Structure 1
Amino acid sequence: MDDRGSFVAVRRISHTLDRGSTCHFSSAEVVAGSTAWLGRGLSCVCAQRREHESRPSFDFTPAQEECLQRLQSRVDVPYDGSIPQHQEALRALWKLAFPEEELRGLISEQWKEMGWQGKDPSTDFRGGGFVSLENLLYFARNFPKSFQDLLQKQVGDRSVWEYPFAVAGVNITFMVIQMLDLEAVKPRTMVGATFLKLLAENESAFDLLYCIAFKLMDHQWLTKRASYMDFNVRHLHLTVMKSTRRQLEKELLLEDVTRLEDLPSFSLLGR
């Protein structure tokens, strides 16, 4: 398998390192047998703290907590190819991606055209769950131009060094879940707390942030590829995903951001 086929999404497992340092990182359950280079580099976010220091606490309204619980329920749903709703969602994604090409089956070599690692996309959904498919559908329906631009690689001379679109999309879901700390009962960071307030105003905020993140990642991929022409693709993707997360965190904490449409990176999206 070449570097372009090595993008992976992995289950999240929390580990404690040495005293005073907690690190949440991914390991163990790797999609399609690929190496876990992306998951490890993307999701390892270590916070050095003294023993007497505690996490900040935030006050949330009952309505905000209810919105969070609904989102967490979505995030917890695994993709299950035996469920008709999941099958129909996958067919809908194909129709949105390739409206002129008939899908021959849910298991088909055709799926590789979208950037899945094999002929059965369900194996790549293990890391992101059903919500990662919902994210892709939201992107395709609400920002069809940006979706097609990224899918068809219509920007720049990218055929030799491009990332696989669909698997990268699953990893974007994984990154946003980690960034927002959605596996915690309540947000434990300012970024997570800020997002929860935005979510209470717009229940599609997670899906919209996903679209912004995907477009921002692609933008940074193009920029860094131009700067590092001989950079190894695996290390390049780690660099891009980390910088994408940092940029999103920075923008979410801007004082004048009251909705996701206020994020500077929102301007990258085109309908």
Structure 2
Amino acid sequence: MDDRGSGGSFVAVRRISQGFDRGNTCHSSSAEVVAGSAAWLGKGLSCVCAQRRDSDSRLSFDLTPAEEDCLQRLQSRIDVPYDTSLPEHQEALRALWDAAFPEEELHDLVSEQWKEMGWQGKDPSTDFRGGGYISLENLLYFAKNFPKSFQVLLRKQEGDRAMWEYPFAVAGVNITFMLIQMLDLEAVKPRTLVGATFLKFLAEKDYAFDLLYCITFKLMDQQWLEMRASYMDFNAVMKSTRRRLEEELMHEDITKLEDLPSYNLLIR
């Protein structure tokens, strides 16, 4: 995960109508995909939410054996790149398509159809470089465990949307990367209080990172709507989402992720 530091590219999605027409065999879409350039995809992801304070580097939190074990398992997931040659990774990608568009058959793992989900091009594997295989796992967990919220965000069904919307799948990769940064998950020990707090939740539930991902995605979309954002505001929305999430995680009444106020935004 060393290739995240320089500028990348992005796609914006132009709203044309409310909802997708999935029944059209010609695959007509309610969105038009436009390429551009900005530091919020792939190698440019580190520009989105890097907000570590100088004092953070002087902090260190001791871990219980259970927390250390859970952190190491999560780090092992984070270190796995998406590999197009692995059948397991191919099947996960197909499973994501089936969960997103169960009524439409995917023709190939490299296909123009992927743009309908908000990938940068016809080969989504090129977009995983910023988040690795875990970013695909996060999206798949979201689709399987909160299918209604997943579909609402994918199809931009709620709220007064911008003419130029964020691409769903690319935003998902950004969220994975932002959480890894915010929680300092690549460090041997957490160096922030929010990171140490999260590890207590992780020790209780192995799927805590995936659950927090779902919460964050829904929170990000809420922030997007509240800020009346368009695609050039994406970085600002992500920073606002991070601040809100940190505040919620640090609230004294939070004993589990389901206690977070933003958890209530999710529907199954």
Partner amino acid, structure 2, of 1:121: P
Choose from 239, 247, 267 the match for 2:264.
Answer: 267
Among 170, 177, 186, which residue is 1:167 paired with?
170
SS of the residue aligned with 2:165?
coil
Amino acid at match of 2:6: A
Of 27, 36, 39, which aligns to 1:37?
Answer: 39
Q: Name the CA shift for 1:31/1:62 in 2 (closer, same or farther; >3 Å).
A: farther
Whether the aligned pair in 2 keeps the contact of 1:31 and 1:127 (CA below 8 Å) is no
Matching of residue 90 in structure 1 with residue 108 in structure 2? no
- Residue 154 of structure 1 is matched in structure 2 by 157
- Listed one character per residue, the Cα deviations across residues 38-92 of structure 1 (whole Å, up to 9, x for unaligned) are 235423324235xxx9622322111110000000000000001110000000000
Aligned to 2:6: 28
Aligned residues: 240
Contact 2:172 2:217 in 1 (8 A): yes
Aligned residues of 1:58 and 1:193 also touching (Cα < 8 A) = yes
CA 1:162–1:36: 2 relative to 1, 3 Å:
closer
Amino acid in structure 2 at the alignment position of 1:48: D
1:255 aligned partner: 252
| Deviation of the 1:28 alpha carbon | 2.7
Distance in 1 (alpha carbons) for counterparts of 2:165 and 2:2: 26
SS at match of 1:95: helix
Inter-CA distance 131–29: structure 2 relative to 1 (3 Å threshold):
farther
Aligned residue type for 2:240: S
C-alpha contact 2:131 2:173 (8 A) present in aligned 1: yes
Give how far 1:29 is off.
6.9
Deviation, structure 1 residue 153: 1.1
Amino acid at match of 2:254: V
**Is residue 213–residue 248 contact of structure 1 (8 Å, CA) maintained in 2?**
yes
Unmatched runs of 5 consecutive residues or more in structure 1 = 1-10, 14-25
Identify the match of residue 231 of structure 2 among 230, 233, 240: 233
TM-score where L is the length of structure 2? 0.84
TM-score, length basis structure 1: 0.83
**Which residue is equivalent to 2:25?**
none
Within-5 A mapping of 1:203-214: 203-214=206-217
* One-letter identity of the residue aligned with 2:48: L
Instruction: Give the AA of the match of 2:147.
Output: P
Q: CA deviation digits over 1:174-207, x for unaligned, max 9?
A: 1011000011111110000000010000110000
Match of 1:48 in 2: 54
- 2:242 is matched with which residue? 245
Letter in 2 for 1:110: Q
CA contact (8 A) 2:7 2:39 kept: no
Q: Give percent identity, aligned residues only.
A: 69
Counterparts of 1:29 and 1:94, CA distance in 2: 28
RMSD: 2.0
